[in-house]
Amino acid sequence: MARIKVKNPLVEMDGDEMARVMWAMIKEKLIFPFLDIDLKYYDLGLKKRDETEDAVTMQAADAVRHYGVGVKCATITPDAARVKAYGLKKAWPSPNATIRSALDGTVFRKPIMVRNILPAVRNWKRPIIIGRHAYGDIYAAMEMTIKRPGKVELVYTAQDGQEMRALVHEFKTPGVVMAIHNLERSIRSFAASCIVCAIEERSELWFSMKDTISKTYHACFKEIFGREVARRKADLDRAGVSYRYLLIDDAAAQIMKQEGGILWAVSNYEGDVLSDLLAAGFGSLGMMTSVLVSPDGLYEFEAAHGTVRRHYLEHLKGNPTSTNPAASIFAWTGALKKRGEFDGSGEVRAFGEKLEKAVIDCIEAGIATKDLIALMERKPAALSTTEGFIDAVAARTLAPG
C-alpha of 371 from chain center: 20
Q: What are phi and psi of 165, to 5 degrees?
A: -130, 145
Predicted pLDDT of residue 183: 94
Where in the chain are the domains?
1-112+286-401, 118-140+182-282, 142-179
pLDDT confidence bin for 401, thresholds 50/70/90: low
Predicted pLDDT of residue 1: 66
The mean pLDDT value for 309-321 works out to 95
* Residue pair 302/96 in contact by the 8 Å Cβ criterion: yes
Q: Is domain 118-140+182-282 in CATH 1.10.10.10, yes or no?
A: no
Model confidence pLDDT, tens digit, residues 220-263 = 999 999 999 999 999 999 999 999 999 999 999 999 999 999 99
Nearest CA among 239, 244, 281 for reference residue 265: 244
Of 133-137, 385-389, 395-399, give the range with the top mean pLDDT.
385-389
Same fold, 1-112+286-401 and 118-140+182-282: yes
Q: What is the DSSP track for 112-170?
A: ---TTB--SSTT--S-EEEEEE-SSGGGG-EEEEE-SSEEEEEEEE-TTS-EEEEEEEE
The CATH code of domain 1-112+286-401 reads 3.40.718.10
Task: For the chain, give the longest Cα–Cα distance.
Answer: 73
Residues 281/285/289/291 CA torsion (nearest 10 deg) = 110
